[in-house]
Amino acid sequence: MIIGIAIGLAVGAAGVLFAIFRNRGETKDLEERINTLKSNLSATRLACQEADANHTRYELEIRKHRDLAILFPELVKQVLSARTPDELARLLARAMNRLTGCERIAVFLADVRGGKLGLVHVEGLEELLRPPLVIKVGDGHVGFAAETGMVFDRKALENESELTRQRLEKSAIPGFIPDYAAPMTSQGILYGVICLLDVPTTSTLPRERLRSIAAVGAAALESIRLLSRYESAADMDPDTGLPGQTRLLPVLTQELERVRRFDSPLTVMELAVVKADDPDRFRVREFMSIGANHLKATMRNIDTGLRTGGNLITLLLPGTGEDGASNVMQRLIEDLPGLRNDIGDELGEVRLRFLVVLPGGGETSETVLEALDRVDYTSSLRA
């Protein structure tokens, strides 16, 4: 009987131990499942937070693009409303600031020959760029964008050849490498370059927006040049087909600004036709017309001729220095006197004088004309 009781106790103890070990195993499994659920819950929470952040970001992007759809046409209208290159440069910088948030912007404009770029407007870069600043097309990163007609991307510079990189670095503006530089071109004509430095990382599509504004800027500058031509044509002298006296000061002021901006000389030349100093109105018209037609046939497209008196024609020759002016005067002295009208009368004696305006002088239109008045005429000495 005692043996049976002992066996029963042993079996009961074994059952209890078995139950205990079994419960421990189930508890461990439950703990592992609980830990797994906690991990899944944490991952789900992180995914929800990320989804919420993306949703918020997408909403902001949609709002930005919606705002851009309203803002961009207004900015284009403002840019196209500019009436001078300087005003246009300010509006371009403002437009890029609004579109990209960039606060360091420089605008370069090209001279009429398309060979140089002059700094016109700068924001936030005064420690690096100060006008007057002139670079040649092809030099540095800004000139490279102008030369190639492509948007310069600082990050893509590594894809250029070693020779190209060396040339850019050698001729670059010291300390100035723009993030983006977009040329303003239209129908193969270069009007200038817009540069952005330190573009915010939060800016969306800065390259594409800069390209769009550059295209608008080129169209606006083309309109400004055409408007200037129309203004000149509205005051044409009927005898010569040249702009009249009232256009002299505005055009001369514009050319003197190019002297300062592009570091290029300007020659102001005055031509007097002796036979046109006559009370006979018909003879004056005939001889002035002969001289003006010859000038229009030989002048460059960047030169300007104006009738500034009864027998006077004033020529403005951009980029022409002392030697060039002497050559032009000598050629006119040789060619003009022998010109004839329909009945064979020669144009006869002409008198010329010129003044060369060099960069850095700070002359005004009035001081240039006063200085020209003090220069003696050179005569062809031909009757």
Q: Is the pLDDT of residue 232 over 80?
A: no
Amino acid 124: pLDDT: 87
240 and 214 in a single domain? The answer is: no
Sheet holding 266-273, edge to edge: 304-307, 312-318, 266-273, 350-357, 378-379
Domain termination site, one of 189, 213, 230: 230
Domain housing 222: 77-230
Using CA of residue 10, residue 14, residue 16, residue 20, what is the dihedral sign? positive
How many angstroms separate the CA atoms of 195 and 79, rounded?
A: 17
Name the pTM for this structure. Answer: 0.70
Decide if 282 is inside a domain. Answer: yes
Contact between 210 and 180 (Cβ < 8 Å): yes
Question: Mean pLDDT in the chain?
Answer: 83
Amino acid 383: pLDDT: 43
**CB-count burial class (<10 Å; 0-12, 13-18, 19+) for 212:** middle
Domain termination site, one of 199, 230, 261: 230
Q: Is the pLDDT of residue 6 over 80?
A: no
122 and 218 in a single domain? The answer is: yes
Decide if 98 is inside a domain. Answer: yes
Query: Which tokens hold the place of 89?
Result: 């440069």
Share of the chain above pLDDT 90, in %: 25
Domain termination site, one of 183, 204, 230: 230
Domain count, the chain: 2
pLDDT digits (tens, 9 = 90+) for 159-172: 777 888 888 888 88
Decide if 314 is inside a domain. Answer: yes
pLDDT digits (tens, 9 = 90+) for 142-191: 888 898 888 888 888 877 778 888 888 888 888 888 989 999 998 888 99
Q: Which residue, among 75, 101, 100, 111, has the nearest Cα to 90 in the 3D structure? A: 75
Report residue 108's pLDDT band, with 50, 70 and 90 as the boundaries: very high
Pairing of strands 116-123, 104-110: antiparallel
CATH number at residue 102: 3.30.450.40
Decide if 318 is inside a domain. Answer: yes
Amino acid 99: pLDDT: 86
Decide if 102 is inside a domain. Answer: yes
